[in-house]
Amino acid sequence: MPRKIIASLFISLDGVVEAPDQWHFPYFNDQMGAAVGAGMNTTEVMLFGRRTYDSFAGAWPEREAAGGQEAGFAKQLGDMRKIVFSRQRLDLRWRNSEQATGDIAEVAAALKSEPGGDISLSGSVSVVRQLLTAGLLDELRLLVHPIAVRKGMRLFDEGEPSIPLKLLASETFSTGVLHLVYAPDTAPPTGGYEDAVATLGE
Protein backbone atom coordinates (compact mmCIF):
# COMPACT_ATOMS: atom_id res chain seq x y z
CA MET A 1 0.00 0.00 0.00
CA PRO A 2 1.23 3.55 -0.68
CA ARG A 3 2.28 5.38 2.44
CA LYS A 4 -0.05 8.06 3.78
CA ILE A 5 0.43 11.43 5.43
CA ILE A 6 -1.80 11.63 8.50
CA ALA A 7 -2.34 14.64 10.76
CA SER A 8 -3.79 14.27 14.27
CA LEU A 9 -4.93 17.27 16.27
CA PHE A 10 -6.63 18.06 19.56
CA ILE A 11 -9.27 20.66 18.71
CA SER A 12 -11.94 22.48 20.66
CA LEU A 13 -15.58 22.79 19.63
CA ASP A 14 -14.89 26.31 18.34
CA GLY A 15 -11.92 25.17 16.26
CA VAL A 16 -9.03 26.18 18.54
CA VAL A 17 -5.88 24.04 18.27
CA GLU A 18 -3.47 26.27 20.15
CA ALA A 19 -2.12 25.32 23.60
CA PRO A 20 -4.16 22.13 24.11
CA ASP A 21 -2.19 21.54 27.32
CA GLN A 22 -4.40 24.25 28.85
CA TRP A 23 -7.76 22.54 28.10
CA HIS A 24 -7.22 19.01 26.82
CA PHE A 25 -6.18 16.91 29.81
CA PRO A 26 -9.55 16.75 31.65
CA TYR A 27 -10.89 14.85 28.64
CA PHE A 28 -8.07 12.32 28.32
CA ASN A 29 -9.07 8.71 29.02
CA ASP A 30 -8.26 5.18 27.87
CA GLN A 31 -10.32 5.61 24.69
CA MET A 32 -8.31 8.63 23.63
CA GLY A 33 -5.06 6.96 24.60
CA ALA A 34 -5.94 3.98 22.42
CA ALA A 35 -6.79 6.24 19.48
CA VAL A 36 -3.52 8.15 19.78
CA GLY A 37 -1.50 4.96 20.20
CA ALA A 38 -3.14 3.25 17.22
CA GLY A 39 -2.18 6.15 15.00
CA MET A 40 1.44 5.93 16.07
CA ASN A 41 1.70 2.18 15.48
CA THR A 42 1.76 2.60 11.69
CA THR A 43 4.03 5.68 11.74
CA GLU A 44 7.61 5.60 10.49
CA VAL A 45 8.28 9.32 9.94
CA MET A 46 7.03 12.38 11.82
CA LEU A 47 6.86 15.90 10.41
CA PHE A 48 7.08 18.94 12.68
CA GLY A 49 6.95 22.69 12.61
CA ARG A 50 9.64 24.23 14.80
CA ARG A 51 7.41 25.15 17.75
CA THR A 52 5.81 21.73 18.00
CA TYR A 53 9.19 20.06 17.66
CA ASP A 54 10.61 22.21 20.46
CA SER A 55 7.68 21.21 22.67
CA PHE A 56 8.15 17.50 21.96
CA ALA A 57 11.95 17.60 22.21
CA GLY A 58 11.71 19.48 25.49
CA ALA A 59 9.62 16.76 27.10
CA TRP A 60 9.85 13.28 25.61
CA PRO A 61 13.61 12.59 25.84
CA GLU A 62 13.43 13.35 29.58
CA ARG A 63 10.41 11.08 30.00
CA GLU A 64 12.24 8.28 28.22
CA ALA A 65 15.28 8.73 30.45
CA ALA A 66 13.12 8.80 33.58
CA GLY A 67 11.86 5.29 32.81
CA GLY A 68 8.34 5.89 34.09
CA GLN A 69 4.97 4.93 32.69
CA GLU A 70 5.49 7.01 29.55
CA ALA A 71 8.98 5.70 28.79
CA GLY A 72 7.83 3.15 26.19
CA PHE A 73 5.92 5.72 24.16
CA ALA A 74 8.78 8.20 24.57
CA LYS A 75 11.24 5.64 23.19
CA GLN A 76 8.92 4.97 20.25
CA LEU A 77 8.98 8.70 19.43
CA GLY A 78 12.73 8.90 19.85
CA ASP A 79 13.35 5.96 17.53
CA MET A 80 11.30 7.47 14.70
CA ARG A 81 12.73 9.60 11.94
CA LYS A 82 11.74 13.21 12.65
CA ILE A 83 11.81 15.96 10.01
CA VAL A 84 11.53 19.58 11.12
CA PHE A 85 10.51 22.54 8.94
CA SER A 86 11.95 25.93 9.83
CA ARG A 87 13.36 28.96 8.04
CA GLN A 88 16.03 29.21 10.75
CA ARG A 89 19.02 26.92 11.02
CA LEU A 90 18.33 24.56 13.92
CA ASP A 91 20.53 22.58 16.30
CA LEU A 92 18.53 19.36 16.67
CA ARG A 93 19.74 17.19 19.53
CA TRP A 94 16.86 14.72 19.88
CA ARG A 95 18.04 11.56 18.15
CA ASN A 96 16.87 10.76 14.62
CA SER A 97 15.96 14.41 14.00
CA GLU A 98 16.82 16.33 10.84
CA GLN A 99 15.94 19.68 9.35
CA ALA A 100 14.08 19.61 6.04
CA THR A 101 15.92 20.86 2.98
CA GLY A 102 13.22 22.16 0.66
CA ASP A 103 9.69 23.45 1.05
CA ILE A 104 6.95 21.51 2.79
CA ALA A 105 5.10 20.35 -0.33
CA GLU A 106 8.31 19.27 -2.06
CA VAL A 107 9.58 17.26 0.92
CA ALA A 108 6.18 15.69 1.63
CA ALA A 109 5.68 14.63 -1.99
CA ALA A 110 9.12 13.02 -2.05
CA LEU A 111 8.46 11.15 1.19
CA LYS A 112 5.13 9.84 -0.09
CA SER A 113 6.85 8.40 -3.15
CA GLU A 114 9.21 6.34 -1.00
CA PRO A 115 8.33 2.91 0.40
CA GLY A 116 7.73 2.58 4.12
CA GLY A 117 5.27 3.24 6.91
CA ASP A 118 3.01 6.24 7.31
CA ILE A 119 4.09 9.84 7.79
CA SER A 120 2.42 11.56 10.74
CA LEU A 121 1.98 15.00 12.23
CA SER A 122 0.82 15.86 15.72
CA GLY A 123 0.03 19.54 16.01
CA SER A 124 2.24 21.60 13.67
CA VAL A 125 -0.78 23.52 12.38
CA SER A 126 1.08 25.60 9.79
CA VAL A 127 2.45 22.40 8.22
CA VAL A 128 -1.00 20.78 8.24
CA ARG A 129 -2.52 23.80 6.50
CA GLN A 130 0.08 23.75 3.74
CA LEU A 131 -0.29 20.02 3.17
CA LEU A 132 -4.08 20.40 2.94
CA THR A 133 -3.75 23.25 0.45
CA ALA A 134 -1.27 21.24 -1.63
CA GLY A 135 -3.56 18.19 -1.63
CA LEU A 136 -0.90 16.03 0.05
CA LEU A 137 -2.67 15.20 3.33
CA ASP A 138 -4.38 11.81 3.18
CA GLU A 139 -6.13 11.83 6.55
CA LEU A 140 -7.07 14.51 9.06
CA ARG A 141 -7.82 12.98 12.45
CA LEU A 142 -9.53 15.38 14.82
CA LEU A 143 -10.21 14.78 18.51
CA VAL A 144 -12.98 17.33 19.02
CA HIS A 145 -13.29 18.35 22.68
CA PRO A 146 -16.66 19.55 24.06
CA ILE A 147 -15.34 22.93 25.14
CA ALA A 148 -15.37 26.38 23.53
CA VAL A 149 -11.93 27.77 24.33
CA ARG A 150 -12.78 31.16 22.79
CA LYS A 151 -9.18 32.27 22.25
CA GLY A 152 -6.15 31.05 20.35
CA MET A 153 -5.23 29.93 16.85
CA ARG A 154 -7.82 27.93 14.96
CA LEU A 155 -7.12 25.09 12.57
CA PHE A 156 -8.60 26.69 9.48
CA ASP A 157 -7.58 30.23 8.65
CA GLU A 158 -9.24 32.46 6.08
CA GLY A 159 -8.21 31.86 2.51
CA GLU A 160 -9.08 30.54 -0.91
CA PRO A 161 -10.05 28.07 -2.19
CA SER A 162 -12.23 26.07 0.18
CA ILE A 163 -11.11 22.53 1.06
CA PRO A 164 -13.88 19.91 0.81
CA LEU A 165 -13.47 16.88 3.08
CA LYS A 166 -15.29 13.57 3.46
CA LEU A 167 -15.87 11.74 6.73
CA LEU A 168 -14.18 8.32 6.85
CA ALA A 169 -14.92 7.34 10.45
CA SER A 170 -16.34 8.68 13.68
CA GLU A 171 -16.38 7.59 17.31
CA THR A 172 -17.79 9.16 20.45
CA PHE A 173 -15.81 8.77 23.67
CA SER A 174 -17.42 8.62 27.11
CA THR A 175 -15.99 12.11 27.85
CA GLY A 176 -17.97 13.61 24.97
CA VAL A 177 -14.89 13.87 22.75
CA LEU A 178 -15.55 13.05 19.09
CA HIS A 179 -12.87 11.23 17.12
CA LEU A 180 -13.44 12.23 13.50
CA VAL A 181 -11.34 11.03 10.58
CA TYR A 182 -11.52 12.99 7.32
CA ALA A 183 -9.91 12.69 3.89
CA PRO A 184 -9.87 15.12 0.97
CA ASP A 185 -13.09 14.88 -1.05
CA THR A 186 -12.21 14.77 -4.73
CA ALA A 187 -15.90 14.69 -5.75
CA PRO A 188 -17.69 16.97 -3.26
CA PRO A 189 -21.48 17.31 -3.35
CA THR A 190 -23.04 19.99 -5.51
CA GLY A 191 -26.34 21.85 -5.43
CA GLY A 192 -27.89 25.10 -4.40
CA TYR A 193 -30.83 26.53 -2.52
CA GLU A 194 -33.39 25.22 -5.02
CA ASP A 195 -32.03 21.70 -4.66
CA ALA A 196 -32.28 21.91 -0.89
CA VAL A 197 -35.88 23.18 -1.03
CA ALA A 198 -36.79 20.37 -3.43
CA THR A 199 -35.73 17.77 -0.88
CA LEU A 200 -38.22 19.12 1.67
CA GLY A 201 -41.12 17.78 -0.37
CA GLU A 202 -39.68 14.29 -0.72
> Does 192 map to a domain?
no
Residue-wise pLDDT tens digits, 115-132:
999 999 998 999 999 999
Q: What is the mean pLDDT of the chain?
A: 93
Task: Say if 196 falls within a structural domain.
Answer: no
- Please list the ranges in the chain whose pLDDT falls under 70: 201-202
pTM greater than 0.75: yes
pLDDT of residue 165: 96
- Domain assignment present for residue 174? The answer is yes
Burial 174-198 (b: 16+ CB within 10 A, else e): eeebbbbbbbbeeeeeeeeeeeeee
Number of structural domains in the chain: 1
Spacing of C-alpha 55 from chain mean position? 15
pLDDT of res. 157: 85
Q: At 93, which CATH number?
A: 3.40.430.10
Residue 180 in domain: yes
* Domain membership flag for residue 86: yes
Contact 130, 54 (CB under 8 A): no
Instruction: Please indicate, yes or no, if residue 62 is contained in any of the structural domains.
Output: yes
- Tell me the Cα Rg of the chain: 18
Instruction: Establish if 13 belongs to a structural domain.
Output: yes
Q: Encode pLDDT of 88-110 as tens digits.
A: 899 899 999 999 988 999 999 99
Q: What is the share, in percent, of the chain residues with pLDDT greater than 90? A: 79
200 assigned to some structural domain = no
The C-alpha atoms of residue 166 and residue 182 are separated, in whole angstroms, by 5
Which domain does 154 fall in, by range?
5-186
